[in-house]
Structures are given as C-alpha cells and as structure tokens.
Structure 1
Amino acid sequence: MEKRSSELININELGDRRGLLTVIEEHKTIPFEIKRVFYIYGTLPEVRRGYHAHYKTRQALICVSGSCRVHLDNVKRKTDVLLDSPTKVLILEPNDWHEMYDFSPDSVLLVLSSHLYDPEDYIRDYNKFIEVYGA
C-alpha cells in the first residue's frame, strides 16, 4: 500500500480594495481530481470529529472561515496542524488517521475529496489502522 506524507501547503491570495480571492484547481493547487466536496460547520469547540483513515481517498482540508486543528497520526509521526486561514490547505493522505477539533464558533471546514463516498474506504477502528499502515 502506497504511503504518502500529508502536508500543509499555502495557496495564493489575490485581491485589491474590493476584497480577496483564492483559486483552487484540481491537479494544480490540489494534487488530485476532485470528485466530492463537503463542509463541516456548527461544530462545538469541545467536539472532535473524524476518527478514521482511508484506504484510497485523498482529501484537501481548508478552513474557509474561523479555525480548527487537525491531529494527524501516520504511525511513525503524530502531529497537530492549525488551519486558521483560507490560504492554508492540508493535503490529507489516506494513511493518516485524522481527528479535527478545537473548532472556533465561526469555523467552516471545506473538504475536497478524490473519491466519492464509499463506507468500505473508511478505516474507523484504530487497531485496524495500525494493522493496515503500521508495517
């Protein structure tokens, strides 16, 4: 099973006195074809979301409003990433167990996904995740 490293990238912000604009393009800004888009909002600060990894789905996480943190665990590395700007994009690889938390009241977390929803693509048991990606 291919293992890539999740990474935080910055995308360009364009603007003038009228306001700001950020452009996202598949295979340019985002390194995959975008097949699914969803967003998470209205999450209380004490709530953690996620608690899973994937077999094949890659995602791009962008906090387009407010902020949140993402805990990443790829067995060899555990780290936390702060998403607090619409120009910060977390390219989330399938082999990272992830948990989103510490949502600000105005947080809107946009997720761009490389695959359509498939419940069989989710690893929701941490021990199974270790079994799949720990070797």
Structure 2
Amino acid sequence: MLDLQNTSRSVYDAAIIQFPKILDDRGNLTFIEARRHIPFDIKRVYWIYDVPGGESRGSHAYRELQEVIVALSGSFDVFLDDGLAQKTVSLNRAYYGLYVPNMIWRRMQHFSTNAVALVLASLPYDANEYVKDYPNFKKMNQTQQRR
C-alpha cells in the first residue's frame, strides 16, 4: 500500500496501481475495492467523457483530496506538477489507475476519441477543496515543503 503519512507531496508520490484482471473468452473483468486496491475510502466517483478534441480537464490541485484516475475507455495523459517537478503519465488500460495525492497540480489532456476517465475521490465534492490559481498553488507548496 502507498505511504500516505508524508505531508510534503511530490509528483513522485503519484503512482500507477494495477487492478486485478480476470481474463475470460466472454470478456475480461476488472474490479476495485477501497482500502484494498485504493489507498483511501472512496467518498465520490465521477467520470469525464465526450471531451472535445484539443480540450483539457482539471488544471487545479486539491487541498486534502486524493484521487485515482482510470482510463475506462480510450486514452489520455495526466500532467502532474508539484511546483518544482513535473511529469506526464499516459493512461490507456482499464486495469491501471493513477494515484494522485493531494496538493499536486493535475491536468488531463490529449483525450482520444470516446475516451472515458473514471475518477475515485477520497472526499465528497467541496468547492473549497480546489486550488485553481497556479501561483497561489506554488506558494502554498513551497511553504509546505519548508516544514
């Protein structure tokens, strides 16, 4: 299981999680269980679909919320930024999820046609959870990294 005790977050804390894959000639099956495959209790589930060509989603961080992002169908990239380092993770398999800790800037981009992104979140929706101003995000993270 991932170490969630560290309070200073980095893009290197983001990790690919492989979910169980049951192969069957009639069609494959993958399942996800909170606290078994996901390092938190799932409080909200949402999905993103019908993203027009060239559009991106996200471009924000969360103060406390953690999430796992899964490409249920198609593919897309997740750009991650901790204020110091950046990395991009490509998702294109329904049996892989990307764990993204809190206070990591994320942007989902380069959606393929008919892509569906499933997001499992550790908290219910709260508009106050979002950090949408990038300079403010960097300032918040630099303060946290000094502790």
Q: Which category of TM-score, normalised to the shorter sequence, fits these structures?
A: over 0.9
Q: How does 1:30-69 map to 2 (within 5 A)?
A: 30-69=38-77
Confirm whether residue 132 of structure 1 aligns to residue 140 of structure 2.
yes
Q: Distance in 1 between matches of 2:129 and 2:117?
A: 21
**How far off is 1:16 after superposition?**
1.4
| Total equivalences in the alignment | 135
TM-score (norm 2): 0.88
Question: Does residue 115 of the first structure (1) align with residue 123 of the second (2)?
Answer: yes
Structure 2: gaps spanning 5 or more residues: 1-5
When you count strand as a share of all residues, which structure comes out higher?
Answer: 1
Structure whose residues are more often helix by fraction = 2
Decide which of 3, 23, 44 is 2:31's aligned counterpart. Answer: 23
Q: CA deviation at 1:3?
A: 2.5
Gaps of 5+ in 1: none
Question: 1:57, CA displacement in angstroms?
Answer: 0.2
Return the letter of the residue paired with 1:2: T
Q: What is the deviation of 1:76?
A: 2.8
Identity value in percent: 34
SS at match of 1:134: helix
TM-score (norm 1): 0.95
Q: Which runs of 4+ in 1 moved over 3 A?
A: none
Secondary structure at 1:16 match in 2: coil
